[in-house]
Structure 1
Amino acid sequence: MLNFIAALVVAYLIGSVSFAVVVSRFSGLADPRTYGSKNPGATNVLRSGNKKAAILTLLGDALKGTLAVALAFHFQDQLGLTRSDIAWVGLAAFIGHLYPVFFKFEGGKGVATALGVLIGLNWALGLATAVTWVVIAYFFRYSSLAALIASLFAVFYNVLLFGINGQAVAVAIMSALLIYRHKQNIANLIAGKESKIGQKSK
């Protein structure tokens, strides 16, 4: 139990590294929490007009989710972790991104990190979810809509691949939290006020 708790804490700390803020600082850009949607994520960084910074943010936020899960798998035997335990470790990293201890608990919405966690759990699960996001984003040009639909499909894909178990619960909670963090986006979509992908902040 202590090993499991320690793994959760480490994963949370890994997830708490906000690449949107870090990359923006090193790139000489404004804090992403001060413009656009005020969300420290790749989509909002893209509104600064700096595509390189947005790509680095996307990769960093995704890789930290994958890293947390990969480390849990690597030390699985030593720590006595089950596959379901590792899914909860991934969830801890995701929560770290949403509420980062290093940045006054002001985090992003978790799309990239959630994808990184899913890829870490199973490449097919992550790939299917990513393709779903790309398809919706391509046709509708709304990152938030793509994230909402992909998060729901992620739960379906996971059950399809692994059945209903502890991992399914962890993925479902991650999906629910992601949807909750998009509540303002949902309101904007309904009102027709949501910004499209690549649209610069005024």
Structure 2
Amino acid sequence: MTIWLSLCGAILLVAYLLGSVPTGYTLVKLLKGIDIREIGSGSTGATNVLRTLGKGPGAFVLCIDSLKGILAIFLVYWVFNFAQSQNLIPPTVNAEVWQSWMVTLVGFAAVLGHSKSIFLGFTGGKSVATSLGILLAMNWQVALATAGVFAIVVAISRIVSLSSIFGAIAVSIFMVILHQPLPYILFGVAAGLYVILRHRSNIERLIAGTEPKLGQKVQVETEESASPAS
């Protein structure tokens, strides 16, 4: 049992580190030589990269951050399959139930890693893209339904943060409608609330009517252009 618990703990650690990979920060730093946390919304996620560098880099960060969530969940599936083939799971453990709870915990670890990256002094993004990847690996129907809500709201409002908030609310509803396991429903509720909390500043701007719409870019300065001429 000790070996099994140690293995589960290792999965959680790897999921957190995977979520912590600072995709947006690294890309902007490489292309512009600036810290994306100091411009726009201060987030390292795809939306702030979109406003800073444009559609291509924004789409790249969206895909990679989503992939982090997918890989975290697939890691659980792979480890459980391997453990079962090697008889590493204790006979007292219900593998199916344990796996569903581990998927949920690993999902939380990846979300936390993205928003509180150990590589960025526990700062990061708002976990929307990583959460989408986790949902795709959990249940693609829930993920696509949630993405549909996001797409409808963004098409009407042109405001990404508002669409993310509606998507965060919709996750729990679709989890229940599609009869997902209790751990997955709890993930939908908790992760949805966490994403909404991560959008506190956006909510304040939405109320004030100052939240940027899709397509509005922020002005950035590279380290070279910001330096005084010699």
TM-score, structure 1 as length reference = 0.94
More deviation in 43-52 or 53-62? 43-52
What is the letter of the counterpart of residue 83 of structure 1? Answer: S
Name the counterpart of 1:47.
Answer: 51
Shift of 1:160: 1.7
* Structure 2 residue 25 is matched with structure 1 residue 8: no
Q: AA paired with 1:108?
A: G
Residue 4 of structure 1, CA deviation: 2.1
Alpha-carbon contact 2:11-2:75 (below 8 Å) kept? no
Which of 155-164 and 171-180 deviates more?
155-164
The 1-side partners of 2:79 and 2:181 are apart by 25
Aligned length: 202
Q: Runs ≥4 in structure 1, deviation > 3 angstroms?
A: none
Match of 2:159 in 1: 142
Structure 2: segments with no counterpart, 5+ residues: 84-88, 90-94, 220-230
- Give the AA of the match of 2:149: T
Please state if 1:91 is matched with 2:95.
Answer: no
Q: 1:2 to 1:171 in 2, by over 3 A?
A: farther
Q: Is the Cα contact below 8 Å between 2:69 and 2:134 reproduced in 1?
A: yes
Alpha carbons of structure 1 residues 165 and 179: separation in structure 2 relative to 1, 3 Å? same
C-alpha distance 29-59 of structure 1, shift in aligned 2 (>3 A): farther
Match of 1:187 in 2: 204
Cα-to-partner distance string for 1:104-126 (whole Å, 9 max, x where unaligned): 11111111011111001011111
* 75-84 or 154-163, which deviates more: 75-84
2:80, 2:188 → 1: CA distance?
A: 19
Aligned mate of 1:119, from 111, 131, 136: 136
Structure 1 match to 2:185: 168
Larger of the two Rg values belongs to structure: 2
Alpha-carbon distance between aligned partners in 2 of 1:134 and 1:29, rounded to the nearest angstrom: 32
Whether 1:71 and 2:88 are equivalent positions in the alignment is no
What is the TM-score normalised by the length of structure 2? 0.83
Rounded Cα–Cα distance in structure 1 between residues aligned with 2:37 and 2:109: 22
Deviation at 1:17, TM superposition (A): 0.5
Secondary structure at the residue paired with 2:178?
Answer: helix
